[in-house]
Structure 1
């Protein structure tokens, strides 16, 4: 397996793969100044023998662009052995679950999502593709998170809400009402401070 993205995020994903006894063939990164990471060789284009890839880049938009450009590869799911994932949860291709995270019953995680360290996603949540749930963020039951949204570190979302697509939830924000598409929200209770460009 190759990891696409030789960065700090890539280091964490590499160690999950190591714990799962998955052989890492190397990293891929466009930055030609990076030659090795964690003693693995860094290539600057995807090798011809590559079959399995994990996109090890934290930026949601970048992950989407890479996936849409490289659809012929197989994208495994990586789940840290010290996470707690319900056997009734569903995860789609390319998603990664970090150490200490909890995903509860009948939650659905889309393609190429990041469920970061100690994140908590309760029952019946729906997380669409290319979402990043940051460390220590907490989603109560039946929360819907639309494509490309980033839930910041330590943010909290009460039950039953909908977070729009490509929204940004600031660090530590407390979400008590629905968030529209492309909104940037911060604070307790969270308020919209701007809208990102579509």
Structure 2
């Protein structure tokens, strides 16, 4: 098994630890060694797993190791990745109950794809993308670096979502639309038009807040 640590010991970090455990129940792949989190004290136990330190301690590790960045907020996730220096790999973690579609799909590094997610075909995920529980991703969708799709979302075909954008729980995006970078789509919104960068999008049909 390969050693792996998780940066982020909050709710999604704990869910990611569970994800690793569920992968191992199917096929022993990961030896989870603990959490890194700058907000918690070294040695603290989180769900029986140790906090090993923060960025400072992580960057002192000299051996090659796998790291999962389990932070839902796109901007924080990006800032953490940019601070990490070391001989680390960022594997894409895929739950056994995630339907990854066909060979036409491309997944970048550092992604976390959780239980019940469904991908179809022609989809591209760039690096450090999170797609959370029970979301569906239609054909030819592009999710740019650090985008986050929260639980129960539905993205129709030919949609593009920009870097560091976040789609709230249960939101929907209709086909052939483009969402810019650094956008926030509110929970339950139904997006029926394009939106440029740095917009907060809410409502049915969705509008700029």
Shared fold (TM-score greater than 0.5)?
Answer: yes
- Aligned runs of 1:22-171 on 2, under 5 Å? 22-33=30-41, 35-44=44-53, 45-46=57-58, 48=61, 49=63, 51-72=65-86, 73-87=88-102, 88-171=104-187
Q: TM-score normalized by structure 1?
A: 0.93
Instruction: Give the Å deviation of 1:31.
Output: 1.9
After superposition, the Cα gap between the structure-2 partners of 1:68 and 1:142, relative to the gap in structure 1 and judged at 3 Å, is same
Where 1:66 maps in the other structure, the secondary structure is helix
CA contact 1:2–1:50 (8 Å) conserved in 2: no
- Whole-angstrom CA distance in 2 between matches of 1:119 and 1:131: 14
After superposition, the Cα gap between the structure-2 partners of 1:42 and 1:10, relative to the gap in structure 1 and judged at 3 Å, is same
| Gaps in structure 1 of 5+ consecutive residues | 194-198
Runs of 4+ more than 6 Å apart: none
Where 2:78 maps in the other structure, the secondary structure is helix
2:19 counterpart of 1:4? no
Q: TM-score normalized by structure 2?
A: 0.89
| Gaps in structure 2 of 5+ consecutive residues | 25-29
Higher alpha-carbon deviation: 33-42 or 23-32? 33-42
What's the Cα RMSD here?
A: 1.3
Instruction: Give the Å deviation of 1:43.
Output: 1.3
- Whole-angstrom CA distance in 1 between matches of 2:135 and 2:108: 18
- Whole-angstrom CA distance in 2 between matches of 1:66 and 1:139: 27
| Count of residue correspondences | 193
* 1:53-90: CA deviation from partner (whole Å, max 9, x where unpaired): 00011111111111112254200011110111113211
